[in-house]
Amino acid sequence: MTPGWITEDVAVAAAALRAGGLVAFPTETVYGLGALADDEEAVARIFTAKGRPRAHPVIVHVAAADGLDRYAEQVPDYARRLVERAWPGPLTVVVPRHPGVATAAAGGAATVGVRCPAHPVAHALLTAVGSGVAAPSANRFGRVSPTTAAHVVAELGTRLDPHRDRVLDGGACPVGVESTIVDCCGERPIIVRSGRVTQRDVEEWAGVPTAATGPASAAPGTLAAHYAPSAQVSICDEGEPLLDLVKRESLRGPVGLIAPADVADVPGAERLAAPRDEDEYAQVLYASLRAADDAGMASVVVVPPPPHGVGVAVRDRLTRAEHGSRSATNG
Ligand code: TXA
Ligand code: MG
């Protein structure tokens, strides 16, 4: 590995972006793989590095709320109220795009996803470059999002250019699951992806009720099979006792267990995490799934958190991970 490829120096990372390089950087949710939003060539390299289909749009990250108007137009009043309360924070709004900006990041769409992250390192980087940064999560397409710099290297280390690109190390991400995405193109907000900002937050802050159904979309975060480790994920729901599920999964090989702290250990399963509440569950979820793969586990049995707060998003990701690890096209 080239010395200096991984850096804690925001100025070094900002210089790499300005020179057309890619920079993986921490946000409060997960690590993103960034390029200057209007550098079409650099944005194209993001898609190549991730192995992501070109038509899937990428979120543009801005340093402050006024960055929204650089990329968006005809932003509904409720969306303005929403970002005023939620930013900086783990919320992305999809709004009508200003023509001529962030074309490659938008994947040709007439809309753009914009987010102002609440992470000091992300904020410093965005301020230093003085421009929006297009960034999907810094994982290979379909895989679990990275929540540490080491995870980024494990995902993309061989796919980045050590001379041009950088990994900006800002420690572990405090939220741990991706931002809530709210489509703000219509009369009412539509929650497209759940996250730490809940439906109740969105409705309270926007001052209008959300519409129930999202637009039919093939965006990666909305595919049934996504966020998957190599190990088979099996959710323990009301149907089958935990002990029986572990026994059954043991037939495949070593089994890991992710369950809230009040769930006792189970013979035959190695405990990967025992989070005390849904926030901690979100924080440790992706690292635990990675740990299962690193340990060569065949299966991870999970007892989901209750559907409160970010627990809704954790349950959503677990369901997708279960689908993803079952599907032959995983990856
Ligand atoms: O927390 C996050 O949102 C992280 C950090 C790095 O900011 N980013 C992230 O990006 O999760 P990504 O690309 O992995 O997921 C963003 C999702 C994708 O499903 C993408 O299709 C959708 O947002 N998206 C982005 N722009 C959109 C648009 N204009 N219209 C519809 N969906 C959009
Ligand atoms: Mg992603």
What tokens does 137 get? 């999560």
Neighbours of 146 (CB within 10 A): 27
The ligand that comes nearest to the alpha carbon of residue 53 is 1
Is 194 a pocket residue for ligand 1 (Cβ < 6 Å)? Answer: no
How confident is the model at residue 218, as a pLDDT?
A: 44
Mean pLDDT of the chain: 93
Q: What is the mean pLDDT of residues 216-223?
A: 51
- The number of C-alpha atoms within 13 Å of 123 and in the hemisphere containing its C-beta is 12
Q: What is the mean pLDDT of residues 76-86?
A: 98
Place of tokens 């802050």: 205
Closest by CA to 92, choosing from 72, 77, 108, 120, is: 72
State the closest ligand 1 atom to the C-alpha of 109, by its place in the atom list counted from 1: 29
Is 114 a pocket residue for ligand 1 (Cβ < 6 Å)? Answer: no
Is 221 a pocket residue for ligand 1 (Cβ < 6 Å)? Answer: yes
Instruction: Quote the Cα angle for 101-177-327, to 5°.
Output: 95
Distance, CA of 74 to CA of 128 (rounded, Å) = 28
Query: What does the pLDDT look like over 30-55, one tens digit per residue?
Result: 999 999 999 999 999 999 999 998 88
pLDDT-derived band at 237, boundaries 50, 70, 90: confident
How confident is the model at residue 227, as a pLDDT?
A: 81
For residue 267, give the 3-state DSSP assignment: coil
Closest by CA to 45, choosing from 65, 86, 17, is: 17
Closest C-alpha to ligand 1, atom 19 = 221
- The number of C-alpha atoms within 13 Å of 78 and in the hemisphere containing its C-beta is 20
Is 144 a pocket residue for ligand 1 (Cβ < 6 Å)? Answer: no
Is 45 a pocket residue for ligand 1 (Cβ < 6 Å)? Answer: no
How confident is the model at residue 171, as a pLDDT?
A: 98
Partner residues linked to 182 by β-bridges: 93, 191
Closest by CA to 231, choosing from 280, 301, 176, is: 301
Q: For residue 217, is pLDDT > 80?
A: no
Is 299 a pocket residue for ligand 1 (Cβ < 6 Å)? Answer: no
Distance 179 CA to ligand 1 centre (A): 8
What tokens does 257 get? 């267990």
Closest C-alpha to ligand 1, atom 17 = 221
Query: What does the pLDDT look like over 248-293, one tens digit per residue?
Result: 999 999 999 999 999 999 999 999 999 999 999 999 999 999 999 9
How confident is the model at residue 101, as a pLDDT?
A: 93
DSSP, residue by residue, 103-166: TTTTTT-SEEEEE----HHHHHHHHHHTS-EE--BSS-TTBPPPSSHHHHHHHHTTTS-TTT-E
Amino acid identity of residue 227, one-letter, is: Y
pTM (2 decimals)? Answer: 0.95
Is 123 a pocket residue for ligand 1 (Cβ < 6 Å)? Answer: no
Distance, CA of 157 to CA of 155 (rounded, Å) = 6
Distance, CA of 94 to CA of 268 (rounded, Å) = 45
The ligand that comes nearest to the alpha carbon of residue 217 is 1
Query: What does the pLDDT look like over 95-150, one tens digit per residue?
Result: 999 998 999 999 989 999 999 999 999 999 999 999 999 999 999 998 999 999 99
State the closest ligand 1 atom to the C-alpha of 112, by its place in the atom list counted from 1: 29
Is 32 a pocket residue for ligand 1 (Cβ < 6 Å)? Answer: yes
- Residues lining ligand 2 (ion), CB within 5 A? 137
Q: Which of 60, 178, 192, 286 to mutate to test the pocket of ligand 1 (most atoms within 8 A of CB)?
A: 178
User: Residues near 77 by Cβ (< 8 Å), separated by ≥ 6?
Assistant: none
